């Protein structure tokens, strides 16, 4: 059985004959690299791209013959071109469905160091990037907004990323906006049910009772207190440089009640520690609400909540998420903040986005 006969069958696109001839050829010459080139070609035409890629890559590692190397490289290029066309066709099909045109977000989750190199190669292939750029896009910790676009396209990318073992999820902007937020003023009771006095999004006060088992997860974050400062640089001429400097942080803590589609939000500068349940050792009924004492009360409140909800997940990586989220100001301006008496709208919207993403994350998996 000769290679010329196999080549002739390929030229005629008689792949069934080529497969039979190749099977006999590889029995006689199992180590012949040309036989493996044709084997990879058969995988190509049948669209078994992973098998074809594996053979081509193995040949590049083990063979130095210039023609073999050239054929293997050309094979990999053909496969990448075919896959890219398929991805574009799938994206176009997803976008054509009116139900898939709502604005959405694609979120990348942290990648473990041991699989980072492999994940970068996969991301590069899916997003048509070079590997170095793809590696820079992968978050080291927490979440990262990677792309905005039609939810159909974001869903497609999410499926491809998960198939490549890159953790990701997507959500529509509408879903983010449909979660109600109640700002907790204080806890009135905690057993047998928790009762909170809270304020709704219209500023109306009321009480809400819930079982601790209704809380699915917790979200914690710090919002920076920023002040613009001016540096004066003296030299041949005086230069002034204005920049924002972080003076301190405000604390925010959310409880998620998914069955009620609502978030209970507590803010350390808004919580009324002189009302309801006392938290921490306060000595007497008088509560000094200076900054240091307020932080002690806040820590006591957090400890209490953590004891009640020890088994519920806690999302507390807002700092890394927020630093990248504020690079999307137009997105944040479209989303509500639901944080009162805080002057930096982008940061408050970024925290609400982080909490709302956590709220919707598992619903879209």
**The pLDDT of residue 186:** 95
| Burial of residue 50, with CB atoms counted within 10 A of its CB: 0-12 exposed, 13-18 middle, 19 or more buried | exposed
Right CATH number for 98-175 from 3.40.50.2300, 3.90.700.10, 3.30.390.10, 3.30.1390.10? Answer: 3.30.1390.10
| Burial of residue 68, with CB atoms counted within 10 A of its CB: 0-12 exposed, 13-18 middle, 19 or more buried | middle
pLDDT at 90 over 90: no
Q: In angstroms, rounded to a whole number, what is the distance separating the alpha carbons of residues 309 and 319? A: 22
pLDDT at 291 over 60: yes
Question: pLDDT category, 344, cuts 50, 70, 90?
Answer: confident
Mean pLDDT, to the nearest integer, of 127-141? 93
Calculate the CA 45 to chain-centre distance: 35
Select from 71, 57, 69 the least CA-distant residue to 7. Answer: 71
Mean pLDDT value across the chain:
88
Phi/psi at 270 (5° precision): -115, -20
The 3 state secondary structure assigned to the chain is CCHHHHHHHHHCCCHHHHHHHHHHHHHHCCCCHHHHHHHHHHHHHCCCHHHHHHHHHHHHHHCCCHHHHHHHHHHHHHHHHHHHHHHHHHHHHHHHCHHHCCEEEEEEECCCHHHHHHHHHHHHHHHCCCHHHHHHHCCCCCEEEEEEEEHHHHHHHHHHHHHCCCCEEEEEHHHHHCCEEEEEEEEEECCCCEEEEEECCCCCEEEEEECHHHCCEEEEEEEEEEEEEEEEECCCCCEEEEEEEEEEEEEEEEEEEHHHCEEEEEECCCCCCCCCCCCCCCCCCCCCCCHHHHHHHHHHHHHHHHHHCCCCCEECCHHHHHHHHCCCHHHHHHCCCCCCCCCCHHHHHHHHHHHHHHHHHHHHC
Percentage of the chain with pLDDT > 90? 60
Question: pLDDT category, 284, cuts 50, 70, 90?
Answer: very low
pLDDT, tens only, 208-218? 999 999 999 99
pLDDT at 236 over 70: no
Torsion of CA 352, 354, 357, 358, to 10 degrees: -110
Mean pLDDT, to the nearest integer, of 41-67? 91
Mean pLDDT, to the nearest integer, of 269-280? 86
Give residue for tokens 């000094």.
288
pLDDT at 238 over 90: no
**The pLDDT of residue 240:** 58
**The pLDDT of residue 281:** 47
* Lowest-pLDDT range of 185-194, 290-299, 350-359: 290-299
**The pLDDT of residue 54:** 92
**The pLDDT of residue 359:** 96
pLDDT at 228 over 90: no
Give me the residue spans of the domains in the chain. Answer: 3-93, 98-175, 179-364
Tokens of 363: 């619903």
Question: pLDDT category, 39, cuts 50, 70, 90?
Answer: very high
Angle made by CA atoms 108, 321, 217, in degrees to the nearest 5: 85
* Lowest-pLDDT range of 241-255, 266-280, 285-299: 285-299
**The pLDDT of residue 365:** 57
Select from 339, 348, 306, 322 the least CA-distant residue to 218. Answer: 306
Q: In angstroms, rounded to a whole number, what is the distance separating the alpha carbons of residues 333 and 342? A: 15
**The pLDDT of residue 287:** 46
Instruction: Answer with the residue of higher pLDDT: 27 or 106.
Output: 106
Q: In angstroms, rounded to a whole number, what is the distance separating the alpha carbons of residues 60 and 332? A: 48
Cis before 197? omega within 30:
no
- End-to-end Cα separation, the chain, in angstroms: 52
Question: pLDDT category, 237, cuts 50, 70, 90?
Answer: low
Mean pLDDT, to the nearest integer, of 355-364? 88
Could you tell me the CATH superfamily of domain 3-93? Tetratricopeptide repeat domain (1.25.40.10)
Instruction: Answer with the residue of higher pLDDT: 201 or 194.
Output: 194
pLDDT at 285 over 60: no
Q: In angstroms, rounded to a whole number, what is the distance separating the alpha carbons of residues 8 and 17? A: 10
**The pLDDT of residue 282:** 43
Mean pLDDT, to the nearest integer, of 37-48? 91
Cβ proximity of 311 and 217 under 8 Å: no
**The pLDDT of residue 200:** 92
pLDDT, tens only, 150-198? 999 999 999 999 999 999 999 999 999 999 999 999 999 999 999 999 9
Mean pLDDT, to the nearest integer, of 297-317? 93
pTM beyond cutoff 0.85: no
Beta-sheet pairing, 314-315 with 217-233? parallel
**The pLDDT of residue 28:** 87
Percentage of the chain with pLDDT > 70? 91
Angle made by CA atoms 90, 93, 98, in degrees to the nearest 5: 140
Contacts of 347 (CB under 8 A, 6+ apart): 223, 224, 322, 326
Contacts of 352 (CB under 8 A, 6+ apart): 181, 335, 336, 337, 338, 339
């Amino acid at each position: 059985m000769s290679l010329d006969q196999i080549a002739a069958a390929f030229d005629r696109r008689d792949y069934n004959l080529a497969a039979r001839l190749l099977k006999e050829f590889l029995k006689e010459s199992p180590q012949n690299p040309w036989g493996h080139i044709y084997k990879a070609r058969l995988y190509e035409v049948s669209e078994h791209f992973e098998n074809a890629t594996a053979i081509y890559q193995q040949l590049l590692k083990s063979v130095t013959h210039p023609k073999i190397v050239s054929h293997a490289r050309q094979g990999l290029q053909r496969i990448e071109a075919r896959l890219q066309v398929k991805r574009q066709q799938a994206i176009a099909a997803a976008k054509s469905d009116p139900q898939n045109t709502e604005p959405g977000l694609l979120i990348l989750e942290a990648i473990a160091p041991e699989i980072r190199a492999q994940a970068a190669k996969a991301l590069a292939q899916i997003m048509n990037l070079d590997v170095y750029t793809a590696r820079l896009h992968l978050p080291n910790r927490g979440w990262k907004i990677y792309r905005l676009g039609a939810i159909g396209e974001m869903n497609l990318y999410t499926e491809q990323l998960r198939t490549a073992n890159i953790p990701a999820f997507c959500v529509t902007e509408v879903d983010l906006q449909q979660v109600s937020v109640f700002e907790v003023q204080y806890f009135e009771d905690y057993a047998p049910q928790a009762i909170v006095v809270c304020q709704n999004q219209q500023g109306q006060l009321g009480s809400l009772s819930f079982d601790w088992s209704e809380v699915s997860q917790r979200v914690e974050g710090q919002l920076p207190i920023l002040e613009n400062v001016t540096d004066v640089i003296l030299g041949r001429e005086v230069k002034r440089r204005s920049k924002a400097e972080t003076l301190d942080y405000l604390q925010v803590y959310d409880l998620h009640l998914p069955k009620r589609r609502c978030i209970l939000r507590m803010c350390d500068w808004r919580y009324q520690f002189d009302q309801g349940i006392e938290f921490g050792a306060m000595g007497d009924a008088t509560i000094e609400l200076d900054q240091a004492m307020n932080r002690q009360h806040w820590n006591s409140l957090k400890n209490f909540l953590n004891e009640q909800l020890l088994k519920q997940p806690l999302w507390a990586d807002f700092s890394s998420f927020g630093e990248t989220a504020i690079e999307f100001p137009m997105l944040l301006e479209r989303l509500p903040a639901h944080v009162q008496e805080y002057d930096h709208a982008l940061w408050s919207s970024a925290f609400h986005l982080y909490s709302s993403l956590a709220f919707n994350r598992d619903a879209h998996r």
